[in-house]
């Protein structure tokens, strides 16, 4: 029988990529849930549904925190086989300025979704909880340099969580709610902790689209510190492919309660900018930087060990990374600006 999935945050950056792959590569029925915030691209979501038969999907615009047992009764699709929980407030700088929306959406929202599902959907096979490598906290610690003088720890799934920003704290809390439901109520789940994503349709407040927009328009770019922060980068396409692969393997090699890191390639922000400029064929001497003080509590590096996932789904090759990165840069080169905010996550 055709499976039905619920995608939360389906109008956001990664949720909409997951929706695109679902509609293109599977015959799943889809319930797309999103409250539509400033970060959403609602038009893109609707364009994805344009040629899809109406009986194959439902769209629900509401906040996770307000879910009620009556919610799904309004929809055509009633049973849910898998949930992919992307919906969240996701902008770190915003979280440090005002953490409340992050507590509401990411913690209360996850709690109310999990409670709703476990009480009303006994048929649910697995809840895929989309988390972040930021839950581990900074992985740069000069006091713990290893014998190769590598200052970056590559955290494994079993390592302790030590998040720094309100964003990361809210994501770590959400994970623990899901784990608690698993332990206490037998709620079936898998958690993924992914590195920084790049790809199309990301809001212009984030580093890659914002940097390209500023450079293309000849405007100055506010640089935190010296751009030495290290992040791993992976495409939103690869991120979603991994979620599909884990779904395929669920009940075989993947079990409820499993956690998987999804890593990419590490670059300093400065290296990332040089890479973008190389693709755009713009000299660094032609870029105006506004050097700003680094933000308080800005984690210098994140690092994760993805070997557990890679043995199951195959490695993310450098060749694929380079190709996808180039396509992303060219996509934003032609895109109109949206906002004036900036983030380095």
Q: Is 133 a catalytic residue?
A: yes
The two counts, helices (H) then strands (E), for the chain are: 11, 12
Q: Is 109 in the site for ligand NAD (CB under 6 A)?
A: yes
Q: Is 264 in the site for ligand NAD (CB under 6 A)?
A: no
Instruction: Answer yes or no: are the C-beta atoms of 58 and 77 closer than 8 Å.
Output: yes
The residue within the footprint of ligand NAD, chosen from 34, 241, 299, 324 (CB under 6 A), is 34
Tokens 């649910």 sit on residue: 124
Q: Is 9 in the site for ligand NAD (CB under 6 A)?
A: yes
Q: Choose, from 34, 81, 134, 343, the residue flagged as catalytic.
A: 134
Q: Which of residues 113-152 bind ligand NAD (CB under 6 A)?
A: 130, 132
Helices assigned H by DSSP within 53-165: 92-97, 100-102, 109-120
Q: Is 299 a catalytic residue?
A: no
CB of 253 to ligand NAD, least distance (A): 23
CB of 110 to ligand NAD, least distance (A): 9
Smaller CB separation from ligand NAD, 56 or 63: 63
Q: Is 199 in the site for ligand NAD (CB under 6 A)?
A: no
Q: Is 64 in the site for ligand NAD (CB under 6 A)?
A: yes
Q: Choose, from 81, 133, 232, 345, the residue flagged as catalytic.
A: 133
Residues 6+ apart with CB under 8 A from 139: 152, 153, 154, 155, 301, 302, 303, 304
Cα–Cα distance, 64 to 101 (Å, whole number): 12
Specify burial of residue 144 (Cβ count, 10 A radius: 0-12, 13-18, 19+).
exposed
Cα–Cα distance, 290 to 220 (Å, whole number): 6
Q: Is 105 in the site for ligand NAD (CB under 6 A)?
A: yes
The residue within the footprint of ligand NAD, chosen from 89, 205, 241, 343 (CB under 6 A), is 89
Q: Is 197 in the site for ligand NAD (CB under 6 A)?
A: yes
The residue within the footprint of ligand NAD, chosen from 15, 182, 209, 303 (CB under 6 A), is 15
Q: Is 42 a catalytic residue?
A: no
Residues 6+ apart with CB under 8 A from 338: 203, 204, 205
Please report which helix (H) or strand (E) contains residue 59, including its range.
Answer: strand 57-60
Cα–Cα distance, 306 to 156 (Å, whole number): 8
The residue within the footprint of ligand NAD, chosen from 118, 171, 214, 298 (CB under 6 A), is 171
Number of residue whose CB is nearest ligand NAD: 12
Contact residues: ligand NAD, CB under 6 A:
9, 11-15, 34-37, 39-40, 63-65, 86-90, 105, 109, 130, 132, 171, 194, 196-197, 203
Q: Which residues are catalytic?
A: 133-134, 167
């Amino acid at each position: 029988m055709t499976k039905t999935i619920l995608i939360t945050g389906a109008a956001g950056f990664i949720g909409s990529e997951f929706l695109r792959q679902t509609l293109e590569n599977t015959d799943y029925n889809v319930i797309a849930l999103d409250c539509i915030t400033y970060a959403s691209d609602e038009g893109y979501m609707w364009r994805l549904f344009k040629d899809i038969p109406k009986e194959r999907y439902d769209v629900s615009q509401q906040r996770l925190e307000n879910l009620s047992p009556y919610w799904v009764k309004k929809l055509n699709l009633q049973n849910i086989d898998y949930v992919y929980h992307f919906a969240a407030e996701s902008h770190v700088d915003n979280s440090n300025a005002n953490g409340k929306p992050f507590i509401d959406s990411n913690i209360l929202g996850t709690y109310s979704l999990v409670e709703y599902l476990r009480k009303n959907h006994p048929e649910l096979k697995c809840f895929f909880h989309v988390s972040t490598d930021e839950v581990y906290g900074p992985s740069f610690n000069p006091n713990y340099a290893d014998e190769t003088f590598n200052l970056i720890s590559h955290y494994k799934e079993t390592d302790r969580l030590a998040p720094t920003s309100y964003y990361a704290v809210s994501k770590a809390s959400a994970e623990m709610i899901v784990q608690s439901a698993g332990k206490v109520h037998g709620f079936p789940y898998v958690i993924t902790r992914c590195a920084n994503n790049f790809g199309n349709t990301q809001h212009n407040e984030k580093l890659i689209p914002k940097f390209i927009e500023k450079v293309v328009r000849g405007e100055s770019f506010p640089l935190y510190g010296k751009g030495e922060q290290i992040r791993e980068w992976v495409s939103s396409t690869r991120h979603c492919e991994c979620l599909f692969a884990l779904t395929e393997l669920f009940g075989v090699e993947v079990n409820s309660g499993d956690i998987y890191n999804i890593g990419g390639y590490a670059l300093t922000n400065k290296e990332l900018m040089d890479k973008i400029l190389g693709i755009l064929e713009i000299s660094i001497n032609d870029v105006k930087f506004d050097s700003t003080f680094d933000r308080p509590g800005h984690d210098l590096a994140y690092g994760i060990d993805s070997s557990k996932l890679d043995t199951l789904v195959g490695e993310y090759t450098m060749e694929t990374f380079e190709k996808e990165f180039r396509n992303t840069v060219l996509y934003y080169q032609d895109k109109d600006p949206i906002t004036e905010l900036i983030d380095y996550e």
